[in-house]
Amino acid sequence: MRQRISETLDFLYPRYCEVCGRPADRPGRHFCSDCLNRLPFTPTDGCCRRCGRAAEKLDGEFLCTDCQTYRPAFDRAASALQFDGDAREAVNAFKFRSRLWLRNDLVDWMEAVVRARFKVGEIDVIVAMPSTFWHRLDRGYNQCAYLARALAKRLGKPYEPFVLRRKGNPRKQGRLTEEERRTNVSGTFGVLRPRVIVGQTVMVVDDIMTTGSTLSECAAELKRFGAAKVWCVTLAHSLRS
Ligand SMILES: [Zn+2]
Ligand SMILES: [Zn+2]
C-alpha cells in the first residue's frame, strides 16, 4: 500500500533533484545526473573483503586492521556510499523524514554494489535489519524493510519479512563511543523464523554501517540459528574518524 502511495506521488508531482532542486533528468529518479556523479560512491576495488571499507593506495581485496582485531561475525559487507555530504543528506531524508519516494534511487545504488561485490547467484534469502518498536512508532515504517523488499525484487531473490527482531531497546547508538557501541549491542537480536535461514546464505539489508558492530551482532545471531553465511549490504558507511 505504502509503495503504491509513493508511486502515485511520483506521478502527481514533478520530480526535482533532491540535491540541487533542478528538474530530475531521469525517469522515476530524484537525483539529476550531475549530482549523481558527485555522490561519494564507494570504490568497487581496493576494499576490505570483510567490512567493505575502502583503503587508499590498496588494490584488490585485503583484511583491514579493524576486521583483524574485532573479527565481525558477518562474512562479507559492502556499502553503496560513504555517509558524507549529499549522500548523508539523502540517507537521512529517507530514514528520518519519510522521503520514501527516494527508494528507487537508493535501491539503484544498493543493487549496483551488490552486483559488484557479491556473488548474487549464491544469495538464498534477503532479510532486513529490524527496527525497534519505538522507532517504528516514531516513523511509522521500517526503512530497512522497505529497501530490502525492493532490492530483493531487483535481484530476483526471496525477501523474508520478520526474520529478525530486536529485543528491548538498547541505548541510542549515536551517542556512544566506539567501544561502548561494541558492547551495547550484545543480546540485541532474536531470530523469529529460523526455518528460512538454516543452511542459507542470508543477505541482511541495513541503512548505515558505523562500526559494523550491530551488523556483526545480527550476523552472530543468524549463525547461531543455522545461517551458513551472512552477507550485509548497507546504503552508506560512516567515515572512519
Ligand atoms: Zn541535482
Ligand atoms: Zn574490514
Q: Which letter does DSSP use for residue 239 in this model?
A: P
**Do 44 and 61 lie in a common domain?**
yes
**Range with the lowest mean pLDDT among 39-53, 178-192, 207-221?**
178-192
**Do 9 and 107 lie in a common domain?**
no
Average pLDDT (58-73) is: 89
**Do 56 and 80 lie in a common domain?**
yes
Residue 73 pLDDT exceeds 80: yes
Work out how many domains the chain is built from and give that number.
Answer: 2
The residues, any chain, with a CB within 8 Å of residue 82's CB and separated by 6 or more, are 40, 41, 42, 236, 237, 238, 239
**Do 49 and 101 lie in a common domain?**
yes
Ligand nearest to the CA of 232: 2
Ligand nearest to the CA of 74: 2
**Do 26 and 109 lie in a common domain?**
no
Per the model's pLDDT, the better-predicted residue between 145 and 101 turns out to be 145
Ligand nearest to the CA of 16: 1
**Do 142 and 122 lie in a common domain?**
yes
Q: For residue 46, how far is its CA from the centre of ligand 2 (angstroms)?
A: 11
Residue 116 pLDDT exceeds 80: yes
Per the model's pLDDT, the better-predicted residue between 186 and 44 turns out to be 44
Ligand nearest to the CA of 79: 2
Q: Which letter does DSSP use for residue 58 in this model?
A: -
Q: For residue 223, how far is its CA from the centre of ligand 2 (angstroms)?
A: 19
Q: For residue 144, how far is its CA from the centre of ligand 2 (angstroms)?
A: 22
Q: For residue 173, how far is its CA from the centre of ligand 2 (angstroms)?
A: 20
Looking up residue 211, the CATH number of its domain turns out to be: 3.40.50
Q: What pTM value is reported for the model?
A: 0.87
pLDDT tens per residue, range 11-65: 555 578 988 999 888 888 899 999 999 999 998 888 999 999 988 777 778 899 9
Q: For residue 114, how far is its CA from the centre of ligand 1 (angstroms)?
A: 25
For ligand 2, an ion, list residues with CB under 5 A: 48, 50-51, 64, 67
Residue 182 half-sphere exposure toward CB, CA atoms < 13 A? 10
- The per-residue pLDDT for 56 is 73
**Do 194 and 120 lie in a common domain?**
yes
Ligand nearest to the CA of 77: 2
**Do 165 and 185 lie in a common domain?**
yes
**Do 27 and 138 lie in a common domain?**
no
**Do 126 and 221 lie in a common domain?**
yes
pLDDT tens per residue, range 142-172: 889 999 999 999 999 999 999 999 886 555 6
Q: Structural domain of residue 148, as residue ranges? A: 40-237
**Do 187 and 84 lie in a common domain?**
yes
Cβ neighbours of 28 (radius 10 Å): 13
**Do 23 and 49 lie in a common domain?**
no
